[in-house]
Chain A
């Protein structure tokens, strides 16, 4: 599967709540960040957990989020960030 997003591009994590084994943490759903790097493609863990092959492999990104935007009451420095791996099907263009 082709990578839809490039390094530096703004992306938004889907606000979805599917059942099953999901590797997108709750706290980051609905947040907007910037692609830090494209990690390559990997079998979909949501499918692997159901004993299926998880293919086609899905592009995986490291996305950088500003902590102040993730936690409205964040008390650290304004420039602090959290970086998370997110699969392409959880992202949309921001």
Chain B
């Protein structure tokens, strides 16, 4: 911890609001401290490995991939993944189409599959520019998109949540599902990177 971080800092407005609300809910018997802690733990346990499992399964099973693209939530439940009330829309990368996800209004993110979003996903910079100049933003992530590829940006504004299904890397024929999943990164499922190469 740096010296600056170790110093006492007053609570920000929103931290104060969170503490006040939480204490009130506990005081009124609506939730318990233990329930709050359990929910925080559950949130921490959801990691991008969940999404990677879904992607790898779609790579080896064409029928599953069709079901996943038709109804993302239902296809996740098939794998025993709880997705909650929000609907999952899975968008597929092809040699002609590259998809990327953003939430310009706030920071909607497929937490059920990717866990806690990275800070940059919530930044004003990413949120405003991804929709305005996606090719430039992708190049800043190290992804140069050729002119003939269509860029599809998905602005997550309402009740859907999105995940990108990247293309299966070449040279992975005969790989097991578990091994394929190790190639699938969080950023590849947001659409700002490609999967690791074999």
By a CB distance below 8 angstroms, the chain B residues around A71 are 132
By a CB distance below 8 angstroms, the chain B residues around A28 are 155
By a CB distance below 8 angstroms, the chain B residues around A77 are 135, 147-151
Q: How many residues of B contact A (CB 8 A)?
A: 24
Report Cα–Cα, A85/B104, bound state, in Å: 12
Report Cα–Cα, A78/B156, bound state, in Å: 22
Report Cα–Cα, A77/B97, bound state, in Å: 12
By a CB distance below 8 angstroms, the chain A residues around B143 are none
Q: How many A-B residue pairs have CB under 8 A?
A: 75
User: Taking the nearest CB of chain B, how far is it from the CB of A41, in angstroms?
Assistant: 10
**Does A14 lie at the interface of the complex (its beta carbon under 8 Å from any beta carbon of B)?**
no
Q: How many residues of A contact B (CB 8 A)?
A: 26
User: Taking the nearest CB of chain B, how far is it from the CB of A78, in angstroms?
Assistant: 9
List residues 147-190 of chain B with CB under 8 A from any CB of chain A.
Answer: 147-160
User: A84–B87 contact, CB under 8 A?
Assistant: no
Report Cα–Cα, A42/B155, bound state, in Å: 17
Q: Specify which of B104, B134, B149, B154 is in contact with A27 (CB 8 Å cutoff).
A: B104
Among A24, A25, A39, A67, the one with the most B-chain Cβ atoms within 10 Å of its Cβ is A67
User: A84–B157 contact, CB under 8 A?
Assistant: yes
User: B152–A81 contact, CB under 8 A?
Assistant: yes
* Shortest 6 CB-CB contacts between residues of A and residues of B: A85-B158, A80-B151, A84-B155, A82-B153, A42-B159, A76-B135
Identify 8 new A-B residue pairs, CB closer than 8 A, beyond the known A23-B158, A28-B155, A82-B154: A24-B157, A27-B104, A27-B132, A42-B158, A67-B134, A67-B153, A74-B133, A75-B136
